[in-house]
Amino acid sequence: MDNSPSVLMMMGAFLLVLGPLVVLHELGHYLVGRLFGVRAEAFAVGFGKELAGWTDKRGTRWKLCALPLGGYVQFAGDMNAASVPDPALADASREELRGTFQGAKLWQRSLIVLAGPLMNLFVAVAIFAAFNLAYGVPTASPEVGGFSDNSPAKVAGLKEGDRIVAIDGDRIETFFDIAERVTLNPGKTVTVTYQRGGIETSVPITLLTDVQHDQFGNELRRGLLGVRSAGMKFEDVGPVGAVTAGFDQSLGIVRTMVEGLRQIITGERSVEELGGPIKIAKYSGERLSLGWLEFVSFAALISINLAFINLLPIPTLDGGHLVFYAAEAVRRKPLGARSQEWAFRTGLAFVLGLMLFVTLNDLASLPIFGK
């Protein structure tokens, strides 16, 4: 742990990565709401007591708050920062609802809510696109160029020059697709389809379990097929190609997150792998200590995480709101105020409980507790 950054660097890096991403997330809500004529009463960076702020000509209070661990935009018609509808407007007329969030059409409300996570995805795609423009898009064919020691692929009969075309039925287009399919599955038996001389052959292969530690002492446990690429190159692309590749790279990360969450829910992976604010701060400091390119790449990953988490169908999160709107579309009327209130309370309790759990999980992983 000698290479670990200082606590001060971790805290600074944590605020530097999370603060702008949360502000941009809320800005997505704000901009689309403004586009549809919904008034924003407050736009806050952080929570708690207001430290500084101003009110613009539209009546929106822009403020910096004491606890810089998030932010929110509160639209007219919201009872609080969690966007719980104000029950006082339940029987309001259309004229009284003009300019409020509840007065917007269903599809408009859905887009306003969706805009936050989409902004985070846009940020990640933009970061990857910038890297692709500057350095080129990494490309590598799924052709086997060699084998690692104790390679299970070699034992199964694969040879240099074979082209891997599928793993468990999922088509493989590039060598990076192989890593995406096997990294989260150490010790699992997968079906690998490869092509040799125009003939496709499928064989079962049990992946290696590879455990490594980086320079900061973090343990990385991954599955390995035991094959090496025949060669990687960086392909120069224009703006459109850079954005397209950035979108594909972001989707690859989303797929990995979905699979990782599925494995934790089903018990295939330990809940100890869930990270909270302390681990994010730790990793933020470590990435910053390695340089700005590493740090910005990490910011893209966290931005995708924010989008993914906010889209989970949990009341108080954006995904929970979208579930309510889907129910409203089916029922042709909003859920009752009492039902929404209890759903928000339950969702808030779940989110707070989850935050407490991952924070305790983070603390238990610290060296002072023997890990």
Question: What's the pLDDT score for residue 233?
Answer: 92
- For residue 284, what is the DSSP state? H
Spot the catalytic one: 26, 96, 259, 272. 26
Question: Strand ranges (DSSP E) for the chain?
Answer: 40-55, 61-75, 137-139, 144-147, 163-167, 170-171, 189-196, 199-206, 208-213, 219-224, 227-229, 233-235
Distance from C-alpha of 156 to C-alpha of 272, rounded to nearest angstrom? 33
What does the pLDDT look like over 78-113, one tens digit per residue? 766 666 666 666 666 677 778 888 889 999 999 999
231: tokens are 């060669």
Neighbours of 336 (CB within 10 A): 10
Question: What's the pLDDT score for residue 83?
Answer: 65
Distance of CA 299 to the CA centre of its chain: 10
Nearest alpha-carbon partner for 78 in 47, 24, 33, 27: 33
B/e letters for 275-309, b = 16+ CB within 10 Å, e = fewer, are: bbebbbbbbbbbbbbbeeeebbbbbbbbbbbbbbb
pLDDT truncated to tens, each residue of the chain (371 aa)?
457 889 899 999 999 999 899 999 999 999 999 999 999 999 998 888 899 999 999 899 999 988 877 788 999 877 666 666 666 666 666 777 788 888 899 999 999 999 999 999 999 999 999 999 999 999 999 999 999 999 999 999 999 999 999 999 999 999 999 999 999 999 999 999 999 999 999 999 999 999 988 888 888 889 999 999 988 899 999 999 999 999 999 999 999 999 988 998 888 888 878 888 899 999 999 999 999 999 999 999 999 999 999 999 998 899 999 999 999 999 888 887 778 788 888 988 988 898 898 888 888 777 654 45
Question: What's the pLDDT score for residue 206?
Answer: 97
Active-site residue 294, yes or no?
no
Residue type, 296: V
Residue type, 323: V
Question: What's the pLDDT score for residue 323?
Answer: 93
pTM, two decimal places: 0.87
Q: Residue 222: phi, psi to the nearest 5?
A: -145, 160
Distance from C-alpha of 216 to C-alpha of 1, rounded to nearest angstrom? 5
168: tokens are 């468990």
Alpha-carbon distance values, 73 to 222, 305, 309, 329, 358 (Å):
40, 20, 18, 24, 26
The CATH number of the structural domain formed by 141-231 is 2.30.42.10
Specify which residues 235 forms β-bridges with. Answer: 137
Nearest alpha-carbon partner for 241 in 138, 118, 124: 138
B/e letters for 54-81, b = 16+ CB within 10 Å, e = fewer, are: eeeeeebeebebeebebbbbbbbbbeee
Alpha-carbon distance values, 297 to 250, 301, 304 (Å):
11, 7, 11
What does the pLDDT look like over 172-191, one tens digit per residue? 999 999 999 999 999 999 99
**Nearest 10 degrees: CA dihedral of 120, 126, 129, 133?**
-160
Q: Where are the domains of the chain?
A: 7-135+291-369, 141-231
What does the pLDDT look like over 28-71, one tens digit per residue? 999 999 999 999 999 998 888 899 999 999 899 999 988 877 78
Alpha-carbon distance values, 174 to 227, 229, 266, 276, 370 (Å):
13, 10, 29, 33, 41
